[in-house]
Chain A
Amino acid sequence: MHQAIFEEEYLLADGPERVNVVGEKLMGRTLMKHGTDEQRARWLPRILSAEDVWSQGFSEPDAGSDLANVQTKALREGDEWIVDGQKIWTSYGAFADWIFVLVRTDPNAERHRGLSFLAVDMRSDGVEARPIVQLDGHAGFAEVFFTSVRVPVSQTIGDANDGWTVALSTLGFERDAPARPAARYERDLRELIAVARARDVWDDPVVRDAIGGLAARVETYRLHTLRTLTRLQRGESIGDDASVTKLLWSELERDIYEYGMSLLGPYAGALSDTPAAASFDTRYWYARAATIYAGTSEIQNNIVAERILGLPR
């Protein structure tokens, strides 16, 4: 709850994106749920102080939507795992200190059961991060290669071979409401209205209709997050409902920025000298990624259909 209030004020004050969101919102919460006392004491304070920047290592070239197909493997040797393989689209991977990875530790088990969740120091021997330039020109994520990387077994989060359970928790945190406060969309909506005014179309009833519709969606999403916070406060597990939440915020975000681009009219093609805020272009493109990362809309729809509505696989 305190976190939710902080986020709301932070966003309304136009605070910049924090470099350690992966640590704060994903690894931190995963440690709270699955970590040992020692693991929490070791990493949580350094996440909060942003001394350790974390990256997320789930996807691989052949494990995107089919995440359980991860091929990066870790073999046990005494008190260490020897990790070999490749991760991709690792958020903040270009400059993170630590990365959490989902790796295969039992090649003979059923594919969801042979996985483990490890925390890996990016400065370990055999870790190589190659930044990937995103289509908006920024280099945020990276390919990360692991060549015989030695990772202490004490850095396994949850039980060995039970990494799928841990990863599902992490994905739940990434999809769920606390990771995506509604205030940012209230801020975005105000920006759209500013653009509409600057373009002198704010009195156009067609524009009003679209803005009114987006205002309703921003507010329903805000109320949806309050409902979720109520459930979390009571210790309820959100489970598959996080997929509903993820569909809501990612598509709201996409639609806000797509409409913003259409409001810009001829300025949509320009990266400077436009009536929009300087970061508009980056946020527009990043909103286009929102329906892909943290599980595509198609995967979320499968989860809703199969696990919530009970439709057959």
Chain B
Amino acid sequence: MIDFDFTDEQRALRDVARDLFAKQSPPSLIRERWKGERDPKLWRALAEVGLLGVIVPEQYGGSGGDEVDLALVLEEAGRAALPEPFVETVVASRLIELHGSKVLSESWLPGIARGEVVATVGLETDPFVAYADVADLVVLIDTSGARLLTRDDVKAKPVRSQDPARPLFAVESKRGERLNLTTPLSRAAAAVASVQLGIARRLLEMTVDYAKDRKQFGKPVGSFQAVKHKLARVHTAIEDARPSAWYAAYAFARDLPDAARAASVAKVAASGAEAMANAEALQCHGGIGFTWEHDLHIWLKRGLALQPAFGTPAEHRAMLAREEAADA
């Protein structure tokens, strides 16, 4: 019996996240964040409904769930273009836990679950780390593990960011604490893939709504096949990619040997779907989509920002080809 689906509880959690993000993180709030104003209320709200502790073990104040429990929530975070280091914090909490030091878990995980500790994740090889300004913890990943840095270990210099609701920082850091981990980059990539699919879905939803409404030549532009086929292709690409993000989550939750490969598949597929949604959303919106005033670019820019996050699609394709070479 194959059971490639979510449970009712997992769907209920998705609905909780969707409602919360819709109410507490509307585009107007994201635009506030663009101005550099971060209202900590949103983060507290995430903690209150338990979203920050979904994958924190119960003994540290979380609900002891796994990556599969989070997959749909991460899609919703993308759909909302949540202007917070949500995916970064949940990935960081898992990496801290997986290192296996009781002391570290006791020090940080309860605070993360309660919303008192904000964390972010970056790559040693990347020039920038997102959200380093608000992070109490920074986890810097390399090929065989990571370094855990606290606020005092880090000097973060802001850079001008494409997506001001996901601000980037050039980080100078002290040594920090070494975390021994297998495939930390793949874990982060798998989580980000789900976020990308949420972004893609939102871009498609906005564009379908617009195409039904906007009239040219006396008809809705969505009645023209040239437009229909673009949007059908975006839908198909998203539905193609979603099971791969779900499977990557499952592979990490169950510690399967093909988890890293699954993460690369998910990152390649989700990045491809999001890039297609990004391109066609703007094209089908026409001029209005190219304005600052229209909300479309909230998602266009988040989508752009996440393409290279935790391995570019090209890097993940290269990893997949290496795996094929090893198998063949």
Interface residues of A (CB under 8 A from B): 1, 189-190, 193-194, 202, 205, 208-209, 211-213, 215-217, 219-221, 223-224, 226-227, 229-231, 233, 241, 244, 247-248, 298, 300-302, 304-306, 308-313
CB distance from B167 to the nearest CB of A (A): 30
The yes or no answer to B89 lying at the interface (CB within 8 A) is: no
Q: Is the interface of A mostly helix, strand, loop or mixed?
A: helix
Total chain B interface residues with beta-carbon distance under 8 A: 47
> Is the beta-carbon distance between B1 and A302 smaller than 8 angstroms?
no
25 contacts between A and B (CB under 8 A): A1-B1, A190-B328, A193-B325, A208-B322, A209-B318, A215-B317, A216-B244, A216-B320, A220-B241, A221-B240, A223-B243, A223-B244, A223-B246, A227-B4, A230-B5, A244-B240, A301-B228, A301-B232, A301-B233, A309-B204, A310-B208, A311-B220, A311-B227, A311-B231, A312-B222
CA–CA, A309 and B317, complex, Å: 30
Complex contacts, A224 vs chain B, CB 8 Å = 239-240, 243
The yes or no answer to B2 lying at the interface (CB within 8 A) is: yes
The yes or no answer to B7 lying at the interface (CB within 8 A) is: no
> Is the beta-carbon distance between B211 and A311 smaller than 8 angstroms?
yes
- Residue in B239, B318, B328 whose CB lies within 8 Å of A194: B328
CB distance from A1 to the nearest CB of B (A): 7
- Residue in A1, A211, A215, A310 whose CB lies within 8 Å of B2: A1
Query: Known contacts A205-B318, A212-B318; can you find 15 more A-B pairs with CB under 8 A?
Result: A208-B317, A209-B314, A211-B324, A216-B316, A220-B243, A227-B4, A247-B232, A248-B240, A301-B232, A302-B228, A304-B235, A304-B236, A305-B222, A311-B220, A311-B228
Most chain-B CB neighbours within 10 Å: which of A226, A231, A298, A310?
A226
Complex contacts, B320 vs chain A, CB 8 Å = 211-213, 215-216
Complex contacts, A300 vs chain B, CB 8 Å = 232
Complex contacts, B101 vs chain A, CB 8 Å = none
Complex contacts, B256 vs chain A, CB 8 Å = none
CB distance from A33 to the nearest CB of B (A): 21
The yes or no answer to B269 lying at the interface (CB within 8 A) is: yes
- Residue in A205, A230, A244 whose CB lies within 8 Å of B239: A244
CB distance from A58 to the nearest CB of B (A): 23
CB distance from A238 to the nearest CB of B (A): 12
Complex contacts, B317 vs chain A, CB 8 Å = 208-209, 212-213, 215-216
CA–CA, A309 and B284, complex, Å: 15
CA–CA, A226 and B5, complex, Å: 10
CA–CA, A30 and B106, complex, Å: 60
B residues 291-321 near A (Cβ < 8 Å) are 314, 316-321
B residues 198-236 near A (Cβ < 8 Å) are 204, 208, 211-212, 219-220, 222-223, 225, 227-229, 231-233, 235-236
CA–CA, A193 and B324, complex, Å: 8
- Residue in B204, B236, B325 whose CB lies within 8 Å of A247: B236
CA–CA, A229 and B322, complex, Å: 30
> Is the beta-carbon distance between B223 and A216 smaller than 8 angstroms?
no
> Is the beta-carbon distance between A310 and B4 smaller than 8 angstroms?
no
Complex contacts, A190 vs chain B, CB 8 Å = 328
> Is the beta-carbon distance between B325 and A202 smaller than 8 angstroms?
yes
Q: Encode B1-19 as 1/0 by CB contact (under 8 A) with A.
A: 1111100000000000000
CB distance from B55 to the nearest CB of A (A): 22
